[in-house]
Every structure is written in C-alpha cells, then in structure tokens.
Amino acid sequence: MTDCTVLVLAAGNGSRISNSLPKQYILLNGKAVLRRTIEIFLIHPAITAVQVVISKEHKKFYSKAIEGLDLPAPIYGGKTRQQSALKGLVHLQEKQPKYVLIHDAARPFVDHKLIDRVLNRLATGKAAIPGIRLTDTLKRVHSEHRSVVFTMDRKDCWCIQTPQGFHYQEILAAHADFVNEEVSDDAAIAERAGLEVAVVEGNEQNFKITTDNDLEHANKLLSNELSETRIGSGFDVHSFCEGDHLYLCGVKINHDRALKGHSDADVAIHALTDALLGGLGLGDIGMHFPSEEDQWKNANSKIFLEKTKHLLFERGAKVGNIDITIICETPKINPHRKRMTSSLAEILDIDTNRINIKATTTEKLGFLGRGEGIAAQASATIYLT
C-alpha cells in the first residue's frame, strides 16, 4: 500500500490529567508523548507522510517536542476532536492521499504490527479500525446514585482504538456531511455515511493516556527502557575563611569559620553536581556554571543541582544512588546528616533511601587534617534510556 498519510490529532488540552502541560507534551523518559507517537509512524515503511494537528496555544511546546524531526508545518485544530480531525482532513486536500489513518497523539504505544493490520484490512475495504474485545462485565450505572441500573450483554462489545484507516476522499466527505453530529471517533462518522467499518485486533498496550493513572502506567511500561547504567564521580575542596556558618548539602551549619568560594562554597553539592554531570557525560560544574560569570557569585549551590536535575530529566535519565563522603576535622557531620539527606532528596526529587552521606577525617594529616578546609567526594549511578 502506498500513498497513506497519518493525521496525528494533538490539539486537545488533556484536562483529565493534573499535569500543567497538555498530556501530549508530557515527557516519558525524557521524550514527549507526541514525539513518541510520531516517531513510530515516521519509520513505518508504508506511511508516506505524517501531518500533526495541534492547538495554536501549544506552538512552543510543539516546536520543542518535535525538534530535529522532518515534518510538514503543523495545522491548527478546533475545539473538539471531531473539529480537529475535519480541519486536518481539509488541509490534506492539496495532497489528496489515497488513504488516511487518523490517530490520537495520546496513544504513544501503537506498534507497527497493529498499523499493518489496519492497513491490510483497508486495502480490501472501506474502513478499518483496531479494537479489543471487552473482557470485563459491562453495567449501566446511574450517574447520580452510582448504583447499577442493569447489566449489559458484553458479547460482541469491543473497545475501539486508533489509528483508524479510511479512504481519504470518503472520510473527508463523511466528516463534512456530519459536521453537526457529535461523535467520539472517526469511524462513527464513517458508519453514519454507510461505509462498512471492519474491526481488526488492537492491542492492550495501545491505550489512550487519559488520566493520571494512565500516565503512571505509561511510565511503568517504559521503566525497562532505562537500559544503560552510568557511574559518575566528583571531588571538590574549599578552604576555610572567617565567618560563622557554612553550607553543606544545602543545609546551613553554624560554625566558627565559613567556606571560601565564588558561590556559597557548598563543597558537597559541588562534588555531587560533578558526579551527576560526569555520569551524563556532560563535562563538569565549571563548564555549566563558570566562576567568571557574575550570576553565580554568592549563588546558592542548590541552583547548580536543580539545573543538573533538569539536564537529567531532559535526557530521560534517572538517579540510581548517590554516595557522598565529606572529609574534614570540623564541623561534626553526624548531627546534620539527616537534614542533609532530606535536603538533597528534595532538590533532586528522589527518595532519601537513594542517598548516603558519610564523613571522615584524615587523622590530622595534610591540609584537611590541619583544618584548612573541607573536601567532598561523590559517586552517583544514573540510568539512561
């Protein structure tokens, strides 16, 4: 089969999900839901073109999500899914593809075999849609009382998914004819137009991300995508100067001296930042936060860690564990250890049980033994996709 365009509908607001980003732009392991969906179609050999329909308000999110992909300019959708589909179909009039597949951007787990089943069936029919047989019992429930009205017969009931395949001209005409009838999928329009709609096997995994639970499920499905484990290590030293407090792991500690540095000299956070950047293969703290730049003067070092967290997120990386050793004669670290652990866990948004903080002295030997400063070393494992 040739000459098949996919319309990816991505103009919704994802209002049933609590995330502030529309669901199609939420990152799953560092990659936007919409990008995941598009990439699957882009590499399918029978797909000629992928046309995305977005909301005008999401232009910025869109550009970021599809960076580097070879796609025609997106077109703007309407208030409802149905309107977005129609706008997409009308736009394709220039190209007049023979076949069109209409797909929800919010189904990023669609697979090539499923697409093949739809396309193969479409080659001998008018319309083909994927579905899965209903296995749970189906009951009509009273909307107010939440009580069962009656049990329905689930025999021959299927849950319908996308992509839904049609002959382009036919579905365009049907959509235009039934513009005033509200339907929840494109096949319903084809049915109204009297086209026979064939159902092929869908796939449980091809679910639509609709609720927070779906998003959690999507993240779980992708957890085995985190396939590479990396180790990073970091080391830093700051000397003492006059003062009455210092910062370690973002925690203020009263002391008879302070630590000297361009920023707040939080030696432990600096070592940890280096360890995480090392694991990502992104150089060191000096490259990202140059000490010549005034913006980092007296900076709260938490900023360095927060930015590094963002870099981890962008690359779809997750922290495995962190192990920090603080080396000094004074101050005593033990009384502050719990607060330090919580502080790092909060900044990095990870569980405290992934963080270990140790302290040691150098038995009065060397510059640390003479109490001239504090050193810290950190190791971190990170999982990359």
Calculate ∠ Cα 206-209-212, nearest 5°: 140
Structure tokens at 164: 């839904």
Which member of 5, 29, 84, 379 binds ligand CTP (CB under 6 A)? 84
Least Å from the CB of residue 170 to Mg ion: 25
Q: What distance in Å separates the CA atoms of residue 314 and residue 20, rounded to the nearest whole number?
A: 17
Residue 161 within binding range of ligand CTP, rule CB under 6 A: no
For residue 37, the minimal CB distance to ligand CTP (Å) is 8
Residue 95 contact among ligand CTP, Mg ion, none, beta carbon within 5 to 8 Å by kind = none
User: Cα–Cα distance between 176 and 186 in angstroms, integer?
Assistant: 12
Footprint (CB under 6 A) of ligand CTP, residues 93-132: 104-106
Read off the amino acid at residue 327. I
Residue (of 117, 141, 113) closest to 130 by Cα position? 117
Given candidates 4, 5, 6, 12, which one binds ligand CTP under the rule CB under 6 A? 12
**Residue at shortest CB range from ligand CTP:** 12
338 binds, among ligand CTP, Mg ion, none (CB under 5 to 8 A by kind): none
**Nearest of 31, 7, 4, 159 to residue 82 by alpha carbon:** 7
Beta bridge partners of 258: 241
Selected from 80, 321, 381, 385, the binder of ligand CTP by CB under 6 A is 80
Element (H, E) at 309: helix 302-314
Q: Which stretch binds ligand CTP (CB under 6 A): 72-80, 117-125, 196-204, 220-228?
A: 72-80
Q: Read off the amino acid at residue 222.
A: L
Selected from 6, 14, 129, 248, the binder of ligand CTP by CB under 6 A is: 14
Identify which range of 6-14, 90-98, 214-222, 266-274 contacts ligand CTP by CB under 6 A.
6-14
Shortest gap between Cβ of 293 and ligand CTP (angstroms)? 41
CB of 17 to Mg ion, least distance (A): 11
Residues 5-44 that bind Mg ion (CB under 5 A): 12
- Minimum gap (Å) between residue 216 Cβ and ligand CTP: 16
Q: In terms of Cα–Cα distance, which of 380, 334, 330, 111 is closest to 230? A: 380
Name, in order, each residue with C-beta under 8 angstroms of 100's C-beta and a sequence gap of 6 or more: 4, 5, 6, 7, 89, 92, 165, 166, 167, 168, 171
DSSP H or E segment with residue 380: strand 373-384
Sequence length of the chain is 385
Burial 10-48 (b: 16+ CB within 10 A, else e): bbbebeebeeeebbbbbbbbbbbbbbbbbebbeebebbe
Q: How far is the CB of 324 from ligand CTP (least distance, A)?
A: 42
CA quadruple 155, 158, 159, 160: dihedral, nearest 10 = -160
CA dist 82 and 189 (Å) reads 9
11 is an interface residue for ligand CTP by CB under 6 A: yes
Query: 12 vs 373, which CB is nearer to Mg ion?
Result: 12
Q: Is 206 in the site for ligand CTP (CB under 6 A)?
A: no
CB of 328 to Mg ion, least distance (A): 57
Name the token pair of 207: 């679910």
Contact residue for ligand CTP among 4, 6, 9, 187 (CB under 6 A): 9
The one of Mg ion, ligand CTP, none whose footprint includes residue 77, by CB under 5 to 8 A per kind, is ligand CTP
Q: Which helix (H) or strand (E) holds 130?
A: strand 127-133
* Residue of the chain from 40, 50, 53, 174 that contacts ligand CTP (CB under 6 A): 53
- Residue 16's binding partner among Mg ion, ligand CTP, none (Cβ under 5 to 8 angstroms by kind) is ligand CTP
Q: Which of 98, 126, 208, 252 binds ligand CTP (CB under 6 A)?
A: 208
Binding residues for ligand CTP (CB under 6 A): 9-16, 24, 53, 77-81, 84, 104-106, 208, 210
